[in-house]
Amino acid sequence: MRACGSRPRPAPSSCRLTSTCAPESACSSRSRCCSSASSSSVVWRVVLPKTSDAEARIIVKDVSKRFVLRHTHSFKETFVALVRRKRLATTFDALHDVSVTIREGESVALFGFNGSGKSTLLKLISGVLRPDGGELLTRGRVAGLIEVGAGFHPDLSGRENIYLNAAILGMSKKEIDERYDEIVEFSEIADFIDTEVKHYSSGMFVRLAFAVAIHTTVDILLVDEILAVGDEPFQRKCLDKIRELQSQGKTMVVVSHALDTVADLCPRGVLLRKGRVVFDGPSHEAVAMLRAK
């Protein structure tokens, strides 16, 4: 597990990892910590799991995330705002002091209405975003299927994009070579594998994206709404593959509006409402609470 030494630093314009982290040989995970953006300094602290957290793959502690909402304003509005020293940009708190611990081998579903913070939390765990406050730690290799096609280049062929995307997800060329045939077979688009992906249909695109992500050597798999894309036979195939990974003890965090399907897939559910955790327990109970509102 990577630990960061404790020492204050001047607040940077954006959060970043401290350079005092332990060498990779001494750790098996990565740690991301951020203090509130309003602080005068950023304090990087040692983030080591307690004995009871020894098998934790994901630790989210008091994490908050704020976005700045910018709008187009006329010259007059801008001038008046400058004179009155009024800010034109507004902020939106996507997450408020969220704390969740997910252990090795757990499959957890994130539930909530649109705008509740599900996808934001998933992106924080994946490292796509960084928190504005709190601590976030992951142990092991993480692969995220959060935005379909992220990491794909439209002007490259399906074959080239397999190597590109798998490399982004952390696989070596040797690992990709060994799993290439499995990826192509799973995607069911072998006849078009040397065609530029910009000519793919949305269904072909998602097949290839899911095939790459699901065959990556990972400890933690993050999936956002991918089960809602593609035809029914391919969805069943994806679910079967996810269950196979579950049987191998992989840790999973899933977001989907297919409530009953995900509740059956993930025993544990975390319900978010307006950026706050309001329930953490059996998935079917979380679904019942969501539907009751």
Q: SS3 of 185, please?
A: helix
Closest of 255, 239, 158, 238 to residue 205, by C-alpha:
158
What is the CATH classification number for the domain harbouring 274? 3.40.50.300
Number of structural domains in the chain: 1
Is residue 161 in some structural domain? yes
Q: Within 10 A of 289 (CB to CB), how many other CB atoms are there?
A: 16
Residue 128 in any domain: the answer is no
Is residue 259 within 8 A of residue 287, CB to CB? The reply is: yes
pLDDT number for residue 169: 82
Q: Which two tokens stand for residue 80?
A: 């008046």
Residue 34 lies in a domain: no
Domain enclosing residue 203, as ranges: 145-292
Of 120, 122, 130, 62, residue with least CA distance to 94: 120
- Residue 197's pLDDT is 94
Q: Nearest 5 degrees, angle CA 121-CA 146-CA 280?
A: 35
Does residue 200 belong to any structural domain of this protein? yes
Domain-located, residue 45: no
Cβ neighbours around 119 below 10 Å, total: 20
**In a domain? residue 198:** yes
Residue 5, pLDDT score: 40
220 within some domain:
yes
First to last CA, the chain: 41
160-209 tens-digit pLDDT:
999 998 998 888 999 999 999 999 999 999 999 999 999 998 888 888 98
Burial annotation 227-251 (CB, 10 A radius, 16+ → b, else e): bebbeeebbebbeeebeeebeeebb
The answer to whether residues 183 and 211 touch, using CB atoms and an 8 Å cutoff, is yes
pTM score of the predicted model: 0.73
pLDDT score of 71: 62
Residue 253: its H or E element: strand 251-255
Whether 178 maps to a domain, the answer reads: yes
β-pairing, 107-111 vs 251-255, is parallel
Tens place of pLDDT for every residue, the chain, 293 residues?
443 443 444 433 333 332 223 333 334 444 444 433 333 322 223 344 443 445 899 999 999 998 877 666 666 666 666 777 666 667 778 999 999 999 999 999 999 999 899 999 999 998 888 999 999 999 998 887 777 667 789 999 999 999 998 998 888 999 999 999 999 999 999 999 999 999 998 888 888 988 998 898 889 999 887 666 667 888 888 889 999 999 999 999 999 888 999 999 999 999 999 999 999 999 999 999 999 97
Containing 278, the helix (H) or strand (E) segment is: strand 276-282
Alpha-carbon gap, residue 287 to 293, rounded angstroms: 10
